[in-house]
Amino acid sequence: MSEQYSCIGCGVKIQTEDREAIGYAPTSALEKEEIICQRCFRLKHYNEVQDVHLTDDDFLKILNEIGKSDALIVKIVDIFDFNGSWLPGLHRFVGNNKILLVGNKVDLLPKSVKPNKLINWMKQEAKELGLRPEEVFLVSAAKGQFINEVAAAIDEYREGKDVYVVGCTNVGKSTFINRILKEVTGEGDVITTSHFPGTTLDIIEIPLSDGKALVDTPGIINHHQMAHYVDKRDLKIITPKKEIKPKVYQLNEGQTLFFGGLARFDYLTGGRRSFVCHFSNEINIHRTKFEKADELYRNHAGELLTPPRMEDMESFPELVKHEFTIKEGKTDIVFSGLGWITVNEPGAKVAAYVPKGVHALIRKSLI
């Protein structure tokens, strides 16, 4: 493209090469008098918010923008991948703005999870991570559960101000906004032609009835999310679609579990005990002996231990070992973006293996 075009919807620079990146428009759109990017096009014509990829630098710019504005911030996290989908650093940018914390995908959690307990857990975690939300909610954007409650809270806490919705990719931010749009604006032409002066970030403003806006900020990529290391088809396997069924394993010391070929768990010491695995129902869990585990992985990753697929093994990062001693009762060993194992009693020594770059951690049990 020789000429530089900007989207009349959000002000982003138009590009025609990368469908997934910000500012994409098909070449045919350039012939129009008023050019809008695909993301704004979808919002305008289908009331549908589309996800785009964004660099960390761009995201920092957006956070700065939020810090300077007088607005309510709605932060979305994926409750199935709480730590992996947490946006670190947000609290440093919010200034005096109020925050609502929304845990999405509550439909995935086993029925045994008590919502109030989980909300308290989220409050505690948020505090430890430096964020002090006004209120914490659990919702299912996909199923529409508790959306009305959040919509009401947004209306109450925004006190006539703009609303910024933030979250990293894959938390369900688009699904959430689409739901809220249905609740708040109904059908109609919701796009606004105004954009942030002085920025070329594709922030979308969805007008609210009092002249203020609901602002969709692009999702940031958390590089330690498992999602970035697997094939798109495998993402479907590791992302739970419906309520996860916990699987209980009675393990002796020296036993190993493989989660496909994506992660590994060694039970080192602590006597025979049970481990409750919370993973997508479609992930294969393979039990073996610790002494055989290395060889099994070498010979069968990508085949018996799949995903990843054989053709992806070459580029798949090596599994890195993280050792933990469980010192308190009811602890989760978290394989970021994949799931977690709950241990009920203290005293176990374990090792979690995840692809290099992905996080493994322990936390006070969510359930």
Task: List the one residue from 171, 191, 227, 326 that touches ligand GDP (CB under 6 A).
Answer: 171
Beta bridge partners of 285: 259
Q: Is 336 in the site for ligand GDP (CB under 6 A)?
A: no
- Residues 42-61 within binding reach of ligand GDP (CB under 6 A): 51
31 Cβ contact list (under 8 Å, min separation 6): none
Q: Is 260 in the site for ligand GDP (CB under 6 A)?
A: no
Q: Which stretch binds ligand GDP (CB under 6 A): 38-46, 138-146, 306-314, 326-334?
A: 138-146
Q: Kindly state the smallest distance separating residue 172's Cβ from ligand GDP, in Å.
A: 3
Q: Is 105 in the site for ligand GDP (CB under 6 A)?
A: yes
Residue 38 has φ and ψ, to the nearest 5°, of: -60, -35
Q: Is 81 in the site for ligand GDP (CB under 6 A)?
A: no
Q: Is 140 in the site for ligand GDP (CB under 6 A)?
A: yes
Q: Considering the complex, state which of residue 175 and residue 255 has its C-beta at the smaller distance from ligand GDP.
A: 175
* Single-letter amino acid code for the residue at 301: A
Both tokens of residue 236? 């479907």
Strands lying side by side in the sheet with 213-216 = 135-138, 99-104, 71-78, 162-166, 213-216, 204-207
Q: Is 175 in the site for ligand GDP (CB under 6 A)?
A: yes
For CA atoms 60, 64, 67, 72, give the dihedral sign: negative
CA angle 13, 32, 51 (to 5 degrees): 45
Helices (H), ranges, 129-224: 147-158, 173-184
Q: Is 170 in the site for ligand GDP (CB under 6 A)?
A: yes
Closest residue (Cβ) to ligand GDP? Answer: 172
Enclosing H/E stretch for 164: strand 162-166
- Residues 7-36 within binding reach of ligand GDP (CB under 6 A): none
Q: Is 172 in the site for ligand GDP (CB under 6 A)?
A: yes
Q: Is 179 in the site for ligand GDP (CB under 6 A)?
A: no
Footprint of ligand GDP (CB under 6 A): 51, 104-105, 107-108, 140-143, 167, 169-175, 219
